[in-house]
Amino acid sequence: MSLDPKRHLSRQIQQIPRSGIRDFFELVIGRDDVISLGVGEPDFSSPWHIREAAIYSLERGETSYTSNLGLLSLRQEISSYVERQFGMRYDPKSEILITVGVSEAIDLAFRALLNPGDEVIYHEPCYVSYNPSITLAYGLPVAVSATPEDDFALRASTVESAITPKTRALILNFPTNPTGAVIERRELEGIAELAVQHDLIVLSDEIYSELRYDGAEHTSIATLPGMKDRTIFLHGFSKYHAMTGFRIGYSCAPGILTEAMMKIHQYSMLCAPITSQVAATEALRNGAQAARQMHQTYTTRRNLLLTRFRKAGIPCFAPGGAFYAFPDIRATGMTSQGFARELLEEEAVACVPGDAFGPTGDGFLRCCYAANTEALKEALDRICRFYSKKIRP
């Protein structure tokens, strides 16, 4: 029997294009000479005390299910961390849900919120899962652009122009993957006013919020007037604590939303893995110092990258957060895809083409500086050499 996608696959799945990242991945895989700045994760292994706590938990035989919401002890730690760090108070018993990474929480939130045809606004360039997650929940993704002229920070007026009577929700991600952009408080306040005025739910993916540079400030939209009741605050351990493979994140939201998300989570996931929950608890209790050290290392690598780009004349705004830089390669006249492919072929450096994160990313390249400093130096030498070759043929 031969399978026919049109007959055997759901229309929703057929609608979703292959990820641009996967296409690029196929080109890179199998080449072992490549220096990669193409990853979306820290180059550090999780700090040893976190791994050791996970090992000890396994030794003690903690291999059972947990509460659907997650271990209460972890939810309590999250509650006090979120209050300390961001200034919001959530009840660990009813307003915090432990998920398998922020990705799962995003999926849960859209499925819990949307009816077919509901519109969700998201800003591009952005993390690759937002658009398909909305589609999979039968919503209509509506992209708005964060532009290079604004250093990829979003403007409230841009959001406003996309709001229709069908708009139900808005997803924000600052600092942003792939640009490293942060948003000004003034614009965030404008967006909050729009959300209140148009009765929108806001998903705020703040996974990179601790990783900020040059004194960039961070405000969670949930702290703005009228917002806590309509915000799903999303955070996790992957980036700041270098725990991507543990797949552990959480959402904080009013009880009614948390309960709705939990209904889906309990049937699709049951609970996040207990070992990961124990590791996350350890990260919150004792992980501040190790995380600070990693952050400091990113800071030096970011300095290195920006200095090299400046010397080579590659335009790149100074990103206020995350561990990405988003240099502008438009002066070469090449597309992002063309630049990234030739850079890979000629110089064996992998950077993700900016348009993999939405069409507004074309003409840019995502360079992740969460890479070994020596490798980063070599990669930057090669990128700068390649750029100057292309700009002065």
Partner 1 sequence: MSQLLDLLQKDARKTNAELAELLGLDEAAVSQEIAQLEQDGTIMGYTAIIDREQHQPNKVTAMIEVRLSPERGGGFDRLANRIAAFPQVKSCFLMSGSYDLLTIVEGEDLREVARFVSETLSTMNGILSTATHFQLKTYKANGLLRSSQPDPDRLPVSP
State the residues that interact with partner 1 by CB under 8 A.
19, 21, 24-25, 28-29, 31, 34, 36, 38-41, 43, 45, 127-129, 177, 296, 299-301, 303-304, 306-308, 350, 352, 372-373
316 touches 363 (CB < 8 A)? no
Closer by beta carbon to partner 1, 28 or else 196 = 28
CB of 21 to partner 1, least distance (A): 5
CB of 188 to partner 1, least distance (A): 25
d(CA 367, CA 353): 9
154 touches 125 (CB < 8 A)? no
In order of 52, 290, 354, the CA distances from 59 in angstroms are 10, 24, 44
Closer by beta carbon to partner 1, 90 or else 208 = 208
CB of 128 to partner 1, least distance (A): 5
Closer by beta carbon to partner 1, 23 or else 91 = 23
Closer by beta carbon to partner 1, 10 or else 296 = 296
* Conformational region of residue 369, where left means phi above 0, alpha means psi within -120 to 50, and beta covers everything else: alpha
* One-character DSSP codes across 50-79: HHHHHHHHHHTT--S---TT--HHHHHHHH
37 touches 369 (CB < 8 A)? yes
Closer by beta carbon to partner 1, 33 or else 199 = 33
Lookup: tokens for 368: 């992740």
CB of 74 to partner 1, least distance (A): 25
d(CA 92, CA 58): 25
CB of 237 to partner 1, least distance (A): 16
Q: Is 271 helix (H, G, I), strand (E, B) or coil?
A: coil
CB of 144 to partner 1, least distance (A): 20
Closer by beta carbon to partner 1, 254 or else 320 = 320
